[in-house]
Chain A
Amino acid sequence: MNHPETRGTIFLEDAEVLSHQAHPGDQYLLRIQAPECAAAARPGAFVHLKCDPQLPMRRPISIMRVDAKSGWVDLLYKAVGEGTRLLAQRRPGEHLSTLGPIGKPFEVHGERPRVLLIGGGVGMPPMVFLASSLRPAGGHTPWAPLVILGSEVPFPFQPRPSQILVPGLPPAVIAAMPLLDDWGIPNRLASLQGYPGCFDGYVTDLARHWLESLDDQARGQVEVFACGPHPMLAAVARLAREFALPCQVSLEEYMACGLGGCAGCVVQVDTPKGPAMKRVCVDGPVFDAYQVFS
């Protein structure tokens, strides 16, 4: 256990629930007022939330969007365990003890402007956050991102045909996330559930279509970022390795402190000095995929 690499300030805020929407598949979109967190958060960061007084241990939930000016933070989560099921009952006007922002963020690199973002299920939020930071500002952007989102339950938004052409993808794959489309971020959806306009297959298969359509020079400018279930991340890491692309993945693990103090949240990684246990909360949650999936 080393001292944290990221030394940014973490804020404890009593955050008001501004809105809380239920979506099919036990998915919830939660907006809280946490201005200090909103101002400091970077894509990849999460908040450590007290879901209910009955369960005083916090739950880590990744950040999907922030608005530094208005001070809100958007979270998308799936009610899977006791904590998140209790969280789902919180109503607007109630307050949630919020610790954040926590975690080492994603790092994009200027020499690899073709940023491929792959999000599966509850792994979508960090990809949306990262995409928001790649938005064209004033019509101009150095980034050429592509976001691929996958879900096996209905998407927690109404997909719509994309206004943005993405060369190299099957022409029938047109479904997109409106928010990303409105930001001018090329994006497509994938599912095995036969949702209209979505790619019928895994996110990694759709990503492969795109990667294979690029010439060598363009492919050399790709960096992959992913968040989602472990098997999906393993598949993304395999794909990245096959195309020799750098790849960052965001991981999840049960947490206690969320501050690097308990070593309760580790993942085993390969380092030049041999295997090491890294804390997902402060050494991650973003890791080099090659260190995690060897």
Chain B
Amino acid sequence: MITANDPRLEMEFCGMRFGTPLVLLSGCVGFGEEYTRVKGFSNRDAGAVCLKGTTLEPRLGNQPHRVYETPAGMLNAIGLQNPGVDFVVRDILPTLDFSETRFIANVSGSTVEEYYEVTRRFDDSPIDAMEINISCPNVKEGGVAFGNDPQMSARVVAACRRATSKPLIVKLSPNQTDIAANARGCLEAGGDAFSVINTLMGMAIDLDSRTPVIGNNQGGLSGPAIKPIALLKVHQVYQVCREHRVPIIGQGGVQSARDALEFLIAGASAVGLGTALFYDPLICKTINAGICDYLGRHGLSHVSQLTGSLRLHERPPVVCGC
């Protein structure tokens, strides 16, 4: 059964048509079709689906354990396990149903050249857009090592820009001091949009063995625990994006329509779902319905009217939160 999406949720994102503002996040939904085995699940309920982080060569990823539940969230250290860009382009993309949603590749690498090359190979494919993952905390080189250095971030974005004219979404790390400054540099380097935020670095310890639970020792923290941090980062990046009309996919701990609405109000145009899909794989339907309900109750005709509608308190010029 094909259900038409609500026109109040349909939107344009970097020139792409999204059926809803929801985006299924990279690393949580494999290469796009895994969840379609769940009765009632449809990729149509999401505006876009981000594929797993992809590198030039295949990667085995980290040793187990790779995931562990923590209070209001989870740690993961997958280590970018993926079959390599050529396999993804040749063997996986042809199996995806592009009539259902937009598919976004998640470009990862250890060197600027690798980011360039992976982007170039996706450019020559049906993929709708590329998300540049300069914020993966679970690999030794590249990833967050690039994302936390504004100059390196900009170099990676500039290289990817040379490789494609498709939309480039820069995925920013929360593990850095001045996310807004980094965003500004990435915009100048040619980024079209932002994903805010990737996971925060964390650790869990097993008391019996006195070892970290995660095989990689540390991992990325996601889920409701990081939502307040993510909201603030979206707000901060939005200050840079607003005047340039650059859209943001807000993400980090969204598990309800209420959470999604908060991200939109903070400045996001679209809202990402990762960990919440592990809680409830059919959550998109609930969240879409909840957003529509809110629009109705507040006399709004389109979801885009919420983006950046945050009204800050008048406040004295003090930055300390103590």
A residues near B, CB below 8 A?
Answer: 1-4, 7-12, 36, 50, 55-58, 82-83, 97, 99, 253-268, 275-277, 282
A204–B39 Cα distance when bound, in Å, is 41
Contact A263 B83 (CB under 8 A): no
Taking the nearest CB of chain B, how far is it from the CB of A249, in angstroms?
Answer: 16
Tell yes or no: B282 within 8 A of A by CB.
yes
A207–B5 Cα distance when bound, in Å, is 59
Do A257 and B31 form a contact, CB below 8 Å, given A10-B38, A266-B61? no
Q: Interface extent on B, as a size class?
A: 35 or more
A56–B69 Cα distance when bound, in Å, is 9
A10–B35 Cα distance when bound, in Å, is 9
A255–B66 Cα distance when bound, in Å, is 9
Tell yes or no: B99 within 8 A of A by CB.
no
Do A58 and B39 form a contact, CB below 8 Å, given A1-B30, A263-B81, A266-B81? no
Contact A56 B279 (CB under 8 A): yes
Contacts of B278 in A (CB 8 A): 56-58, 256-258, 262
Identify which of residues 225-269 in chain B touch chain A, using a CB-to-CB cut-off of 8 Å: 255
Tell yes or no: B185 within 8 A of A by CB.
no
Q: Which of B39, B66, B92 has the most CB of A within 10 A?
A: B66
Do A264 and B39 form a contact, CB below 8 Å, given A1-B31, A56-B279, A256-B74? no
Do A254 and B279 form a contact, CB below 8 Å, given A1-B31, A262-B30? no
Tell yes or no: B34 within 8 A of A by CB.
yes
Contacts of A2 in B (CB 8 A): 83
Do A12 and B40 form a contact, CB below 8 Å, given A3-B31, A261-B34, A275-B60? yes
A57–B34 Cα distance when bound, in Å, is 18
Tell yes or no: B95 within 8 A of A by CB.
yes
Taking the nearest CB of chain A, how far is it from the CB of B211, in angstroms?
Answer: 14
Contact A97 B39 (CB under 8 A): no
Contact A260 B30 (CB under 8 A): yes
Q: Shortest 6 CB-CB distances between A and B: which pairs?
A: A264-B67, A56-B279, A57-B69, A261-B30, A260-B34, A256-B67
A258–B30 Cα distance when bound, in Å, is 11
Contacts of A56 in B (CB 8 A): 255, 278-279
Contacts of B281 in A (CB 8 A): 12, 99, 257, 259
Tell yes or no: B133 within 8 A of A by CB.
no
A259–B281 Cα distance when bound, in Å, is 9
Tell yes or no: B306 within 8 A of A by CB.
no
Which one, B35, B69, B282, contacts A55 given CB within 8 A? Answer: B69
Tell yes or no: B314 within 8 A of A by CB.
no
Tell yes or no: B182 within 8 A of A by CB.
no
Contacts of A276 in B (CB 8 A): 60
Contact B30 A10 (CB under 8 A): no
Which one, A10, A254, A258, A260, contacts B39 given CB within 8 A? Answer: A10
Residue of B nearest to A83 (CB): B69
Taking the nearest CB of chain A, how far is it from the CB of B96, in angstroms?
Answer: 10
Contact B67 A259 (CB under 8 A): no
A36–B40 Cα distance when bound, in Å, is 13
Contact A4 B37 (CB under 8 A): yes
Identify which of residues 15-35 in chain B touch chain A, using a CB-to-CB cut-off of 8 Å: 27-31, 33-35
